[in-house]
Amino acid sequence: MNLTPELEIIPISALNQYSYCPRRCYLIHSEGLFSDNVHTLRGTHEHERVDQVLHEIKQGIRIEFALPVWSDKLGLSGRCDVVEFHPDGAIFPVEYKHGKKKKWANDDLQLAAQAVCLQEMKGGEVSSGAIYHIQSKRRRNVAITPELIADVAYHTGIVRELFQQQKLPPPTEQTQRCKGCSMVEACSPDVAKAAQQIALLSKNLYLVEDDFSEPVSISNSTI
Ligand code: SF4
């Protein structure tokens, strides 16, 4: 009998989004919004092309496409764009990204989450994977370090908590991330920040600076 309480399943992509901006993650997953911008549209199209063939064998390496993966231990699930199964037993996930080069660590976290799932499902060690940048046709290898694996567990927990709390996080302080974010319209980061400032000002407006509750004796005071 399985006595482990059922965990709410967290999509692997949510870890990527949370690591980029918690507000983006919440908007996409908890409020069900997903705004396509040029980046996500191109990304979706490129992912579809990867998904068309399910597997092939090249130089003895079995290559699986769009492979569903999950971890019962962490309560994670998602899909790998590509997984290479090498003759020596090595398992190597490859995540396709439309950008030219690495910009944020969130892609590495997503890859590590796939590796964690593959390890649990297949039983072998997944020590590395790669991010394939479609525009530049460059493949960047990523070592699946113990730190990255710990990060996967940490982010899975924190994303689950975010979904349970159902509270929209504030906009990211790293405002340069908003430029390429497809959620910018739904998020309205400038309006949200202005509202935050107004709330803070109004709270501080009534803070008592000095304590005048003790009556001041006129005879002791100097005029
Ligand atoms: S626009 Fe900026 S603050 Fe809003 S979700 Fe995107 S990255 Fe986060």
| 79 three-state secondary structure | strand
Complex confidence, ipTM: 0.99
What is the share, in percent, of the chain residues with pLDDT greater than 90? 57
Residue 216 Cα to ligand 1 middle (Å): 52
Residue 12's pLDDT is 95
Which sequence spans correspond to the domains of the chain? Answer: 10-205
- For residue 170, the ligand 1 atom closest to its alpha carbon is 3
Q: Is 172 in the pocket of ligand 1 (CB under 6 A)?
A: yes
- Please enumerate in sequence order all residues whose Cβ is within 8 A of that of 14, keeping only pairs 6 or more positions apart, or say none: 25, 28, 29, 159
Q: Is 181 in the pocket of ligand 1 (CB under 6 A)?
A: yes
> CA dihedral in degrees (123, 151, 17, 69; nearest 10)?
10
The first and second tokens of residue 131, run together, are 């991010």
**Stretch 31-52: mean pLDDT, rounded?**
61
Residue 68 Cα to ligand 1 middle (Å): 28
Say how many residues make up the chain.
223
Q: Can you list the positions of beta strands (E) in 10-156?
A: 10-11, 55-58, 61-71, 76-85, 91-97, 128-133, 138-143
Q: How confident is the model at residue 204 (pLDDT cuts 50, 70, 90)?
A: confident
* Domain at 10-205: CATH code: 3.90.320.10
pLDDT of residue 95 exceeding 60, the answer is yes
pLDDT of residue 223 exceeding 50, the answer is no
| 98 three-state secondary structure | coil
Residue 152's pLDDT is 98
- For residue 172, the ligand 1 atom closest to its alpha carbon is 3
Q: How confident is the model at residue 97 (pLDDT cuts 50, 70, 90)?
A: confident
- Residue 39's Cα: distance from chain center in Å? 16
Q: Is 24 in the pocket of ligand 1 (CB under 6 A)?
A: yes
pLDDT of residue 86 exceeding 80, the answer is yes
Between 179 and 74, name the one with better pLDDT. 74
Residue 110 Cα to ligand 1 middle (Å): 19
